[in-house]
Amino acid sequence: MSIRLYDTATREVRDFAPLEEGKAGVYVCGLTVQSEPHVGHVRSAVNFDVLRRWLTHRGLEVSFIRNVTDIDDKILTKAAAQGRPWYNLAYDMKRELDAAYAALNVLPPTYEPAATGHVPEMLELIEHLIAKGHAYAAEDGSGDVYFDVRSWPSYGELTHQRIDDMEAAEDADPRGKRDPRDFALWKGWKKATEPETAAWPSPWGPGRPGWHIECSAMAGKYLGQAFDIHGGGVDLRFPHHENELAQSRAAGHGFASYWMHNAWITTAGEKMSKSLGNSLLIPSVLERFRGIELRYYLVAAHYRSHVEFSFDSLEEAATGFQRIEAFLERAGAVEPGEVPDAFAAAMDDDLGTPAAMAVLFDTVREGNKATDPTGHAAAVRAMLAVLGLDPADPAWGPTGGGDDRMSAVVDALVSGLLEQRATARAEKDFATSDAIRDRLKEAGVEITDTPDGQKWSLA
RNA sequence: GGUGGGUUGGCCGAGAGGCGAGGCAACGGACUGCAAAUCCGUGUACACGGGUUCAAAUCCCGUACCCACCUCCA
């Protein structure tokens, strides 16, 4: 009956025991807002949205924090290349991201802190680390501050690596680092190349935060020094999460009890960040598929499984989902009921959405057989709701592909033709009957004959 | 060099010692004037080679190939 989750740190599925009974604190690394969101970015958000909804369904009061990194090297570089202020690029991309989340019914987090809004908290943490002997200001006058990995013996514990086995960072010249693996907590302002707006005052001179420190500072601020779950994409395990863990623990914080990482979604066997064109950007995908179909596609695979994206599989998934929708339409308006035990058991087992989906489809089949499908429909809606896939959720916007006035007009026009067709059929004049059906089909209206008479829908 | 993951039927995608997850597609049947939808039925898949076991896709050893991370990354 308890929820079990795979923890990257211990490499095993274990019972989820919250620090505080009945509550769960979850911190998920959001995005660096430097470019338009693609399918891969959104997978992470959807996966953790499902986690959040399931924890909530299980009666936990979830505090869900997802940050936004709105200042970093890439943002500065790209903005400069585009000839616009970095904060304008970051803000624009942030709005694109919000739109993508909304289109996929990703619930807004409890709070979404941005790095630039938490510089004081970061400075405080950095000073604390210096005071404890785990960080130092570079001696080359750059204004950088580094975390001293050699001062923290358990460095590498999250990803089970030993410092001496790691390749040294090649990116940066050693600058003022004591060890090449030391990472930046604070980056001194480079007057020559960086705008003044990208620098904040600090005890070491103007500069900006290093990447990792923001999460330690913000998680601490909103969830406390120790919290339950920290999530993100697999690529973040190292260095990002390893460094967060090191600096937080070195500062004396308990930090996260569980670490969860979602797997990649690739195209043509390649990581999306190296991506090919922009066909996988969310707005572009949404021109071909509805948000609910894309979400279904993402939820149907286990979050820790690598997914090879293709429009063919998305198409296939959409067809499968439409089967569920068609069942609900036939069943009529039903309030969500209880989730079947088998479904709950699947979800409890490290968010086993594939097995949960199997239960969902089994219920649909049973419902299609039943003379009164109400109970099955109620269960189906409950399962869909917890996966964020309930078609009746107002978050998906108006359904039916048009406003009410328009559909009333179409209905009036179509019913006239349907009456003619009914007459033809009654007289066994199937040539006329089929001609009417074909003509409507060309116009995009699909006719089906049911025991209750003819029904029409937009194709 | 270090660390982790993968290879399952035509396709997608679960499972982690015994009983064929589920979806898509295909084929046959029921229903239908014909369709659509729906239901019923049809598949001896687990990279390769050894081994352990009464029993292996699942455990062990070895091999091949693929992927990710090692300080920009969801």
- What ipTM was assigned to the predicted interfaces of this complex? 0.94
Q: Identify whether residues A363 and A413 lie together within a single domain.
A: no
Q: pLDDT-derived band of residue A401, with 50, 70 and 90 as boundaries?
A: very low
Q: Identify whether residues A416 and A338 lie together within a single domain.
A: no
Average pLDDT of every residue of chain A: 91
Q: How many CB atoms lie within 10 A of CB A394?
A: 9
Q: Is the CB of A267 under 7 A from strand B?
A: no
Domain that holds residue A445: 404-458
Q: Is the CB of A179 under 7 A from strand B?
A: no
Q: What's the Å distance between residue A308 CA and nucleotide B6 C1'? A: 12
Protein CB footprint (7 Å) on chain B nucleotides: 1-6, 11-15, 21-25, 32-40, 66-74
Query: The domain spanning residue A288 has which CATH number?
Result: 1.10.730.10
Number of domains in chain A: 3
Q: Identify whether residues A325 and A218 lie together within a single domain.
A: no
- Give residue A1's pLDDT: 55
Q: What's the Å distance between residue A296 CA and nucleotide B19 C1'? A: 30
Q: Identify whether residues A43 and A114 lie together within a single domain.
A: yes
Q: What's the Å distance between residue A277 CA and nucleotide B65 C1'? A: 28
- The residue out of A227, A245, A262 marking a domain boundary is A262
Q: What's the Å distance between residue A237 CA and nucleotide B52 C1'? A: 36
Ramachandran quadrant class, A232 (left: phi over 0; alpha: psi -120 to 50; beta: rest): left
Query: The domain spanning residue A207 has which CATH number?
Result: 3.40.50.620
Residues 6+ apart with CB under 8 A from A271: A40, A264
Q: Identify whether residues A224 and A355 lie together within a single domain.
A: no
Give CA–CA dist A361/A320, Å, rounded. 9
Q: Is the CB of A42 under 7 A from strand B?
A: no
- Give residue A63's pLDDT: 98
The bridge status of strand A307-309 relative to strand A265-267 is parallel
Q: Identify whether residues A231 and A320 lie together within a single domain.
A: no
- Give residue A221's pLDDT: 96
pLDDT tens for each residue of A318-328: 999 999 999 99
pLDDT tens for each residue of A403-452: 667 777 888 888 889 999 999 998 999 999 999 998 888 888 888 888 77
- Give residue A400's pLDDT: 47
Q: Which nucleotide is closest to A428, CA to C1'? A: B33
Which residues in chain A, range 199-258, keep a C-beta under 7 Å from any nucleic strand B atom? 211, 232-240, 243
Average confidence (pLDDT) over A69-94: 94
Q: Identify whether residues A433 and A327 lie together within a single domain.
A: no
- Residue A14: strand, helix, or coil: strand
Q: What's the Å distance between residue A359 CA and nucleotide B19 C1'? A: 19
Q: What's the Å distance between residue A8 CA and nucleotide B19 C1'? A: 33
Whether the CB-CB separation of A171 and A187 falls below 8 Å is answered with no
Q: What's the Å distance between residue A13 CA and nucleotide B10 C1'? A: 34
